[in-house]
Structure 1
């Protein structure tokens, strides 16, 4: 991926994370809008994308939980436990 341009690399990460969140939510019986998920993830990653539908707070919450679970899983100071 290092050989890909920065924009192309960001797009690949954004597509992968969007699919992951949407498919995981489908398994749980939750149908999420792709554009809202993409918009929320782009905001989390600091990627500017124009023309996307703003995400609602439910989508933002799911995306936040995904980022927290995948980035802070080993943080002993984290006050949220997803296993309880």
Structure 2
């Protein structure tokens, strides 16, 4: 373990025995395949948080097509999966950019391009009109753990 400039402990990624050191020996193509698999697993896990089950094979083929590696002949991913991958891609590529209202709205539009979540009409890009709360043990009273922050222009 090493300490970063912020004082946080983390794995030694640059050293020969660290993560990047081990990956270097695998070659570029294999590293891309591992990245594609990690990205696919992350997408499935992220969808599961929201209670959505997505087919790993569809995610894998979509990621493979995006990265130009692995089996790109798999099933087409649904639009919701493509939207989720668009958001994940943006979050990584633009990780230094501020998370603005406009960017959040773009992410929401990527997930809900039709303006519906299932059979429920939603206001894409408008945020929530009321604050929702989650009863989370250990956080205190039920009304102290907001699950969403309303953001309105006006």
What is residue 39 of structure 1 aligned with on the other side?
61
- Measured after TM superposition, the shift of residue 16 of structure 1 is 0.8
- Assess if the C-alpha contact under 8 Å between 2:61 and 2:73 holds in 1: no
More strand by share: 2
> Which has more radius of gyration?
2
Gaps of 5+ in 2: 1-22, 108-148
Q: Please, what TM-score do these two structures have when normalized by structure 1?
A: 0.79
**Equivalent of 2:73, from 42, 48, 51?**
51
Evaluate the alpha carbon distance shift between residue 57 and residue 73 of structure 1 in structure 2; reply closer, same or farther with a 3 A threshold. same
Gaps of 5+ in 1: none
- Assess if the C-alpha contact under 8 Å between 2:65 and 2:72 holds in 1: no
What is residue 103 of structure 2 aligned with on the other side?
80
- Cα deviation, 1:34-64, whole Å, max 9, x if unaligned, reads 0111122122223252431121211111111
Task: Say yes or no: does 1:66 pair with 2:88.
Answer: yes
**Equivalent of 2:50, from 16, 28, 36?**
28
Q: Please, what TM-score do these two structures have when normalized by structure 2?
A: 0.47
More helix by share: 1
Compare relative contact order (CA 8 Å, sep 6+) and give the higher one, 1 or 2: 1
Deviates more, 1:47-56 or 1:15-24: 47-56
